[in-house]
Amino acid sequence: MITCPLPFFASGLRIDADLHTPDDGGAGAPYPVVVACSGYQGQKVIHPERFARALTPLGYAVLAFDYRGFGLSEGERGRLVPQEWAEDIRAGIDRLTAVDRVDASRLALIGWGLGGGVVVAEAADDPRVKAVACCNGIADGVRSTRNMHDEASWARLLARIEADRWHRTTTGRSEIADPWDIVRLNLDHVTDGYVGEELYKAPGFGTGVTLESAEFLLRFSPERVVHRIAPRPLLIVHGAQNELHKPVEAQSLYSHAAESKRLEFLEGCGHTEWMFDDDPAFKSLVEMLEGFLAGALGGEAVPA
């Protein structure tokens, strides 16, 4: 694939982004385009670029970017607000409308993890998005976060969020927390191992997150707006043994969505341990995406 920088601005902040296109000498241009969006603590060099490597040989351009405050993008460090991430995606779409190599009238979103919920929230209010794929996403911030915790850790988190409201209104700053005090990886040993061995290879991964961000996460509920995507097609793919974002998230998102919608569970798969370019489960996901995107962006019926 061919990669070139394509930075853009969101809320006055410079967002670091790359546009990946097929290595075909421009024969397929203007390309249908996919905006690949990362999850919690994620960056463009992790799963967005993985999707780019898989989709560019199929004829798609892929935009991958670091959310504000993460990676090489500007923004307050530690501020991880999904509602603001949706604005970053919208600004990225704005930027693509002026790029001759892509066909912004054939644009889809793919979101991973927390980013799966974010792409739903963005697409609900942006008719330029022609199709949405949510992979191992969340449907409701309270339920998904609660399901990561035991009773004691959940009570501690809520107490810290409550105390932080007073702290930030008197000092102007929110307390920085360990990101895994909010997302409890240690209760999902498979995901915890993958994160420790693979994702920490990305510079800056695992940095602290404000408790105000945790409060915004608990207010975030993509399932409340997912019905507004219809009649545009929605694909929901989820690991059947996902212990981080449990399958109830996919089921609830699907039940709140209107047609056209499709739900697929990957049997034997957890949250992220299978996210390698050559893993059979990832290849199966790419096959689903290939059929889904061809139907959604090519004017054909979406595969059942």
Question: pLDDT of 102-114, one tens digit each?
Answer: 999 999 999 999 9
What are φ and ψ of residue 127, in 5° steps?
Answer: -65, -10
What is the pLDDT confidence band of residue 82, given thresholds at 50, 70 and 90?
very high
Mean pLDDT for the stretch of residues 242-252: 96
Mean pLDDT for the stretch of residues 88-117: 97
For the stretch 202-229, pLDDT in tens is: 777 778 999 999 999 999 999 999 999 9
The pLDDT value recorded for residue 61 is 98
Above 70 in pLDDT, residue 302? no
DSSP letter (8 states) at residue 68? T
Give Cβ neighbours of residue 36 (< 8 Å, ≥ 6 apart).
47, 48, 49, 51, 52, 55, 62, 63, 64, 110, 112
- Give 236 or 201, the one with higher predicted confidence: 236
267 belongs to a structural domain? yes
23 belongs to a structural domain? yes
The pLDDT value recorded for residue 176 is 95
**Domain of residue 133, residue span:** 2-141+221-298
Q: Tell me the pTM.
A: 0.93
The pLDDT value recorded for residue 151 is 96
The pLDDT value recorded for residue 148 is 94
Closest CA to 254 of 139, 171, 107: 139
**Type of residue numbered 180:** W
For the stretch 19-66, pLDDT in tens is: 999 999 999 999 999 999 999 987 898 899 999 999 999 999 999 999
**Type of residue numbered 117:** G
172 belongs to a structural domain? no
Q: Are the C-beta atoms of 283 and 257 separated by less than 8 Å? A: no
The pLDDT value recorded for residue 301 is 35
Distance CA 253, CA 70 (A): 27
Residue with tokens 């892509």: 102
12 belongs to a structural domain? yes
The pLDDT value recorded for residue 11 is 96
The pLDDT value recorded for residue 41 is 80
Number of domains in the chain: 1
Question: Long-range contacts for 156-159 (Cβ within 8 Å, ≥24 apart)?
Answer: 156/181, 157/181, 157/182, 157/214
| Average per-residue pLDDT for the chain | 93
Above 60 in pLDDT, residue 300? no
Q: What is the CATH number of the domain that holds 240?
A: 3.40.50.1820
DSSP letter (8 states) at residue 125? T
- Give 297 or 42, the one with higher predicted confidence: 297
Closest CA to 213 of 245, 176, 250, 253: 176
What are φ and ψ of residue 281, in 5° steps?
Answer: -70, -40
**DSSP-assigned letters across all residues of 232-249:** S-EEEEEETT-SSS-HHH
Q: If 0-12 CB within 10 Å is exposed, 13-18 middle and 19+ buried, where does residue 206 land?
A: middle
Above 80 in pLDDT, residue 201? no
The pLDDT value recorded for residue 132 is 98
Q: What percentage of the chain has pLDDT greater than the value 90?
A: 87
214 belongs to a structural domain? no
The pLDDT value recorded for residue 303 is 38
Which of 80-89, 150-159, 229-238, 291-300 shows the lowest mean pLDDT across its residues?
291-300
167 belongs to a structural domain? no
Sheet holding 2-5, edge to edge: 2-5, 17-21, 61-65, 31-37, 102-112, 131-135, 234-239, 261-266
Q: What percentage of the chain has pLDDT greater than the value 70?
A: 98
270 belongs to a structural domain? yes
- Three-class secondary structure of residue 284 per DSSP: helix
Above 90 in pLDDT, residue 287? yes
The pLDDT value recorded for residue 199 is 72
- Three-class secondary structure of residue 61 per DSSP: strand
151 belongs to a structural domain? no
The pLDDT value recorded for residue 100 is 95
